[in-house]
Amino acid sequence: MTIFEKLQHSITADGVVLYQNPHNPIQNLNDLVGHEITITLGHKSQCLGCKKTTRIQKGYCWVCFTKLARCDLCFLQPYRCHYDQGTCREPAWAQSVCFEPHIIYCALTSDFKVGITRATQLHTRWVDQGATWAKPLISTTSRKDAGLIERAMTTSYQWKDVTQWRDLISGNQKISATECRTFIEDIGLNQLFEAANSLQIPFTVIPDSEKNLIYPVQKYCQMKKSLTLQTEVPFTGILSGIIGQYLLFHDRGAINLRTYGGYNISIEKN
């Protein structure tokens, strides 16, 4: 078994998401959909930061969780960036991550939402969130600037910035891609410009482009339940689909594999 961080993927030219089996990267996990599989979670856990075999919290040991910038609150809520106060946990890391171009985008997951990510991680971010349609809108020069604009969109214009996982795993989308597109063209983009200009944050408009993504789902979840893996206790069930970082089991619920970052995990067809 191998140490797991998250499901890796590629995207075909027509937008089909192909997932890799974390236990066997050359195997296409999509091929297991519709079949009975067994998932085994090993008893060992390894910190995703220092790589030590130890107890972890959200993928990291306590030392790394309290010292790494990627584990700080400001990484989850970029508008809270405190680099300019001289209190960044890892200034050099921040220079290479937080001070490169960031994209503000809209996406359709369980509903229309706004989000930000590094320009180099755009498609990865969309797939991790389970977006079926997404569109990059503007670019800023730093993570904090993008975060400030994102926060303005949620507080001043009531844009959503979260995905409701129960709706995601059950395929219950509140709005269509066509409605998302119309909203952006008629109202949304102007609201975004207003927010950025009111904050006096320079930005670059991204040329018109959007992406449709297709996930390997035969059946969404009938049971809107989060399933938990136990160490050394094999979990067996018929895999009905994969979306975002979730494995779907139609009549039982879904497993969020992102929860198990730092553990050794195997997924095998029975």
Q: What is the CA radius of gyration of the chain?
A: 19
What CA–CA distances, in Å, run from 201 to 136, 194, 210, 225? 17, 10, 24, 41
Instruction: Tell me the residue type at 191.
Output: Q
Tens digits of residue pLDDT in 106-159: 999 999 999 999 999 999 999 999 999 999 999 999 999 999 999 999 999 999
Kindly report the pTM of this predicted structure: 0.94
Where do the DSSP E strands lie in the chain? Answer: 2-3, 9-11, 17-21, 24-28, 36-45, 102-108, 112-118, 133-140, 204-205, 211-212, 235-238, 241-243, 246-249, 253-256, 263-269
The answer to whether residues 206 and 222 belong to one domain is no
247 Rama sector, left if φ>0, alpha if ψ -120 to 50, beta otherwise: beta
CB 220 within 8 A of CB 248: yes
Is residue 21 over pLDDT 80?
Answer: yes
Quote the domain boundaries for residue 51.
Answer: 2-56+215-269
Per the prediction, the chain carries an average pLDDT of 95
Position 108 in a domain: yes
Question: For residue 1, is pLDDT > 70?
Answer: no
φ/ψ (deg, to 5) at 171: 70, 25
Within a domain: residue 169?
yes
Is residue 121, in this structure, part of any structural domain at all?
yes
Residues 150 and 229 in one domain: no
The pLDDT, as a whole number, for residue 27 is 82
Report pLDDT digits (tens) over 24-68. Answer: 777 899 999 999 999 999 888 999 999 999 988 889 999 999 999
- The pLDDT tens digits for 200-242 are 999 999 987 899 999 999 999 999 999 999 988 999 999 999 9
Report the Cα 16 to chain-centroid distance in Å.
17
- The verdict on 141 and 175 lying in the same domain is yes
Q: How far from each other are the two terminal CA atoms of the chain, in whole angstroms?
A: 17
Q: How many domains does the chain contain in total?
A: 2
Residue 23 confidence (pLDDT)? 74
Is 188 contained in some domain?
yes
Same-domain pairing of 195 and 113: yes
Burial of 54 (C-beta count, 10 Å sphere; 0-12/13-18/19+) = middle
CB 239 within 8 A of CB 35: yes
pLDDT at residue number 2? 64
145 in the same domain as 52: no
Give the span between the Cα atoms of 111 and 126, in whole angstroms: 13
- Measure the CA angle with vertex 212, ends 32 and 27; round to 5°: 25
Asked whether residue 93 carries a pLDDT value surpassing 60, the answer given is: yes
Q: Which amino acid is residue 239, in one-letter code? A: L
